[in-house]
Each structure stands twice: as C-alpha cells, then as structure tokens.
Amino acid sequence: MKGTLVVTALMITSALDGAPRLVPLPDKSPLVTMRVVLLTGAAQEPAGQEGVAALCAAMLAQGGTRTLSYKQIVDAMFPMATSVDYQVDKEMVTFSGVTHVDNLEKYYALFRAMLLEPGWRQDDFDRLRDDAVNFLRVTLRGNNDEELSKEVLYNALYQGHPYGYHSIGVISSIQNLTLDNLRDFYKSQFTQANLILGVAGGYPKSFPERLKKDFAALPQGTKSERRLPDPKPLSGNRLVIVEKDTRSVAYSFGFPIEVTRGHPDYVALLVAQSYLGQHRSSAGRLYERMRQQRGLNYGDYAYIEYFPRGMFRMMPDPNLARPQQIFQVWIRPVEPDTAHFGLRLAMYELNKFVAQGMSQEDFERIRSFLSKYVNLLIKTKDAELGYAIDSLYYGIPEYNGFIKKGLSQLTLEKVNRAIRKHLRAERIQFVAVARNAQELRGKILSNQPSPMKYNSEKPGDLLAEDAVIQELKLDFKPENVVVVPVDRIFEARE
C-alpha cells in the first residue's frame, strides 16, 4: 500500500503544467471510486450570486444531461445502486461516485455526461433552487440547532469576507439566480486549470488515461484567483444569540487561526485539538469535564479545520480544504438552567488549557493516539483519494505519512508553544441558539453567579472548582452581545 502512495506522489508531480492533474490509487477491489475536484467554490461567486457554485454543482449531480432527463439518469443508476454525489465548499467543488466494476462502463458513461454535458433544464433548476432554499431555511435553520450555531459562527467571524455566508448560498441571492448565471459559472470555473481527477479501486489499466482524455473537453481556463482578505480581527469577546423556540441551548465559539495543513505548527495544533476535544471521542478534556463529570450535555469537542455535519459523521469529509481556518469549540445542547454555567465551564477549561498547556503524559498519549488514528481516516479508498487530493491542494506529502513524521518530530514544548501562539481565551466570537435569548443575554452580561445543582453527590474538588467557575467573569460589552431572530439567518448577506 505504501508503495502505491509513493508512486502516486511522483505521478502527480509529473502531471502538472497544463494537463489535468490525476490521482490514481489502483488496487484489486471489485469497486471503483471516482472523485473529480474543481479548485473553485463559493469563494469565487460574483457578488449577488451567492449560491451559484452549489446550485451549479447540484444541476450536474442531480439534473439531466444534454440527451438524458434526470428521470432517465435515475432509472439507469437504480439497478447499479449508484449515484453522483457532490459537495461544495469555499475552495472546492467535488463530485464523487462508486460503482461495482461490473457496471463501470455504464456508470462512467453517465458520470462523464453529467459532468461534461449538463442539460440545464428549467424544471431541474426550479426543483434544485427550492432544495437549496429549503436546506437553509428548514433543514439547517429549522431542524438542526447545532449545525446552525456552527454556521452562524463562520458567518460572524467572516463578515464582509468571501467566507461570510454558507456555501449553499444566501437565500435572497439564490432566489434571484438564473440558468444563465449557472452556465456562466460553469464555463468560467469548471476548467482544466482548476481540475483534479481521482480514481481508485479495481479499474482497468487504461481507465485513468480515458478519464484524462474525456475531461480534456473542459475549457483550458486559468486558475481561479485566490487572494483572500484576512478576517477582521476581534477586539473583544462577542456573542450572537439566535433566538428560537427550542428545548435547550446550543453553543459554538472560536476565532480565526493562521494554521492550515501546510503550516509548521499544524501537527502541534492537531495534538492540542485532539487533547481538548477529539471529535466524537469520549477521551477529550472538554467531554470529560462537561459531560462525564457533570452530565451537562451529550458531548463537547474542538476543531482546527472546517468540519460540517459533525452530528452525522464520525470522521471528517475530505475536500473541504481552505487556506484560512478557525479554531472552534462545539458545546452540544445544554439545559437552559445550566446554559450560563456551561459557557463558563467551557471558558474555564479553555483558559486553563491556554495558560498551562498539556502535560508530558497527555502529550505522549495523544501522540500515540494520532499516529495510529490517521490510519482510520483513510480506511476507505474514497477517503484515501480525498485525502490525497487535499494534500495536493495544501502542497504537503501524503497525509498519513506527513502526520506520522510530524508527530515523531514533535515535543511537548513545541505543542505548548503552539497553543500559546495560536490559541487564546479572549477575543472570541460566541454563538448561542436559545429560547428566551434576552434572559440569557442579561445573565451573561451581569456576570451574576450561576451555581450548579447536581442530582447526586459530587467530589469535594469538583465542588471547589464549581465555586470558582460559577463566578467566572465572562468579559462582554453590552454592544457586543446581540440577539438575532432565527428567521433572519441566511436570508441576506450580513
């Protein structure tokens, strides 16, 4: 397996300069996975057309081709149990699919036509535009408080920046999009200069060449410009409370960091994040203090990269690469009675973490964890392909080896230095989704004590810690704590 990856890296390098970049990962599996990534996305959308990238991708993956209606595509896909999936983020538009090798010819004919010969039908467009609006209004805003708080956090941190709205778009703009807008975006962005092709599994030897040849039908184009402004610096703590009639209070908070996969401190921060709150793991510090010891909620995690759909996924989706990332803490819904205390506890832990860093023992444990856990991230061929493409984007070697090497050269001092340098417990953007938003705002601004009541006996040291936490001063200026009615979210660009 390792041999394959080395060869892959060489092939990628030699395939640069004009020709489409191709990542081949052959093996003897009866399955064949394809991934087509375009290095463009919501960050490239013209003003007023927020959502054009996502709708354009949806039209390809869930609309008809020049010769086939969407119904004909679905009918052809159904016996093979296949589909074309898509994902749109700020810098990448991804199409992927997996087929049994029995059906490779039939499937690929559809896959190729869908991506290269879109049908641009009005009825597909109407349906998919409705889907986009309903995704934002209903699925995200109405039915998922946790993802809502995460996305509002990004919107707040990146106000006035290309990342300042959800990659599906802004509702008022989506409603004004036309088929011509989509065609123009496709023509200018879906180009060979932006293209990375990936194929994995038990495909015939000649298949990668064919893929390259077919996708050479896309216009040559030029690489999309990627000069992003810096996000505006935060001068103090800020809080957006999204007011919604909901049972409990969901929190997310964070701030931009300069570290991405190519940065020298990336592996150090990965260790720090894993210690503080490895995604959906019961071993993280926040989880241990908030859920395990106090029963405050279902879980608490930390991130240094964009990780949407975390409530549905145990592992991150690849191909969400970005040149700018944020540090983020996710506090799963807490009961309204303990919402003030919960926020204080999370801040108490973050404070302590930034001030004290990790111990040698914690460092050794997390390093050992990550050096094996990276193997699990690429347990499927599809994920391996996705990670390989991300590595190409970030200009790093194959991810697994890169992390293992980074971990082997890491020391506790380097990790603690990276924590002090990149993380902080001040100048943070917070987001809460809550009922009785004004009441929560009042409590937080007043800094009134928020004593905890437990349903069982607690050890003395935990109670002593609580005595400090319940008085912890959260430093907010009144003008920086705003209440926003939920029906305003995602409607227009803030």
Partner 1 sequence: MYRVFALLMLFAMTSFAADPTPKAFPYEYDQHDFDNGLRLITVPTSYPNLVSLYIVVQAGSRNEVEPGRSGFAHLFEHMMFRGTKRFPPEKWEATMQKIGADTNAYTTDDHTAYHATFSAEDLETVLDLEADRFQNLEYQESVFRTEALAVLGEYNKNSAAPTSKLFEVLRNTAFDRHTYKHTTMGFLEDIKNMPNLYDYSLQFFDRYYRPEYTTIIVAGDVQPPQVRELVGKYWAGWKRGNYRAEIPAESAPASPRDGKVPWATPTLPWVVVSYRGPAYSDAEKDYAAMDVIAYLGFAESSDLYQKLVIQEQRVDTLYGMNAARIDPYLVVAGSRVKNAADIAYIREAVLNTFSQFKDQLVPATRLEAVKSHLRYDFALRMDNSEAIAASLARAVALRRTPETINRLYEVYGAVTPADVRDVARKYFTEGGRTIVTLQTEQAQ
Helix (H, G, I), strand (E, B) or coil at 331: strand
Quote the CA–CA distance of 61 and 386 in Å, as a whole number: 18
Task: Tell me how many helices (H) and strands (E) the chain has.
Answer: 18, 11
- Contact between 75 and partner 1 (CB under 8 A)? yes
Quote the CA–CA distance of 270 and 289 in Å, as a whole number: 20
Give the residue among 283, 257, 277 at the shortest CA–CA distance from 418: 257
**Any idea which residue has 């832990």 for tokens?**
349
Q: Work out which of 224, 380, 436, 480 binds partner 1, going by CB under 8 A.
A: 380
Q: Work out which of 205, 372, 453, 473 binds partner 1, going by CB under 8 A.
A: 372
Q: Work out which of 13, 48, 66, 130 binds partner 1, going by CB under 8 A.
A: 130
Smaller CB separation from partner 1, 91 or 146: 146
Smaller CB separation from partner 1, 163 or 330: 330
Q: Work out which of 7, 13, 46, 78 binds partner 1, going by CB under 8 A.
A: 78
Smaller CB separation from partner 1, 426 or 487: 487
Q: Work out which of 13, 109, 123, 360 binds partner 1, going by CB under 8 A.
A: 123
Q: Quote the least distance from Cβ 460 to partner 1, whole Å.
A: 13
φ/ψ bin of 327: left (φ > 0), alpha (ψ from -120 to 50), beta (otherwise) = beta
Quote the CA–CA distance of 201 and 31 in Å, as a whole number: 6
3-state helix, strand, coil in the chain (%, to 5): 45, 15, 35
- Contact between 373 and partner 1 (CB under 8 A)? yes
Smaller CB separation from partner 1, 61 or 257: 61
Decide: 265 and 418 in contact? Cβ < 8 Å.
yes
Quote the CA–CA distance of 306 and 317 in Å, as a whole number: 10
Q: Site mask, partner 1, residues 428-457, x = CB under 8 A? A: --------------------------xxxx
Which amino acid is it at 220? Q
φ/ψ bin of 310: left (φ > 0), alpha (ψ from -120 to 50), beta (otherwise) = alpha
Q: Quote the least distance from Cβ 244 to partner 1, whole Å.
A: 6
Within residues 228-247, the interface with partner 1 by CB under 8 A covers: 244-247
Q: Work out which of 6, 13, 48, 126 binds partner 1, going by CB under 8 A.
A: 126
Helix (H, G, I), strand (E, B) or coil at 183: helix
**Any idea which residue has 């996969």 for tokens?**
261
Q: Quote the least distance from Cβ 462 to partner 1, whole Å.
A: 11
Q: Quote the least distance from Cβ 59 to partner 1, whole Å.
A: 14
Inter-helix orientation angle 360-377/412-422, to 10° = 80
Quote the CA–CA distance of 491 and 455 in Å, as a whole number: 42
Who's near 447: CB < 8 A, 6+ residues apart? 473, 474
Smaller CB separation from partner 1, 188 or 293: 293
Within residues 152-211, the interface with partner 1 by CB under 8 A covers: none
- Contact between 485 and partner 1 (CB under 8 A)? no
Q: Work out which of 4, 224, 371, 480 binds partner 1, going by CB under 8 A.
A: 371
Quote the CA–CA distance of 419 and 356 in Å, as a whole number: 9
- Contact between 281 and partner 1 (CB under 8 A)? yes
Q: Site mask, partner 1, residues 52-71, x = CB under 8 A? A: ------------------xx
Give the residue among 156, 198, 186, 159 at the shortest CA–CA distance from 88: 186
Stretch of 14-22, 350-358, 366-374, 387-395 contacting partner 1, by CB under 8 A? 366-374
Decide: 76 and 108 in contact? Cβ < 8 Å.
no
Q: Quote the least distance from Cβ 74 to partner 1, whole Å.
A: 5
Smaller CB separation from partner 1, 180 or 245: 245
Give the residue among 140, 231, 246 at the shortest CA–CA distance from 489: 140
Beta strand pairing status for 93-100 and 237-243? unpaired
Q: Quote the least distance from Cβ 363 to partner 1, whole Å.
A: 12
Q: Quote the least distance from Cβ 184 to partner 1, whole Å.
A: 25
> Which two three-digit tokens encode residue 347?
């801040």
Within residues 301-360, the interface with partner 1 by CB under 8 A covers: 311, 314, 332-335
What is the sign, positive or negative, of the torsion defined by CA atoms of 84, 86, 92, 96?
negative
- Contact between 121 and partner 1 (CB under 8 A)? no
Q: Work out which of 13, 19, 46, 143 binds partner 1, going by CB under 8 A.
A: 143
Q: Quote the least distance from Cβ 145 to partner 1, whole Å.
A: 4
- Contact between 99 and partner 1 (CB under 8 A)? yes
Q: Quote the least distance from Cβ 285 to partner 1, whole Å.
A: 11
Q: Quote the least distance from Cβ 68 to partner 1, whole Å.
A: 13
Q: Quote the least distance from Cβ 96 to partner 1, whole Å.
A: 13
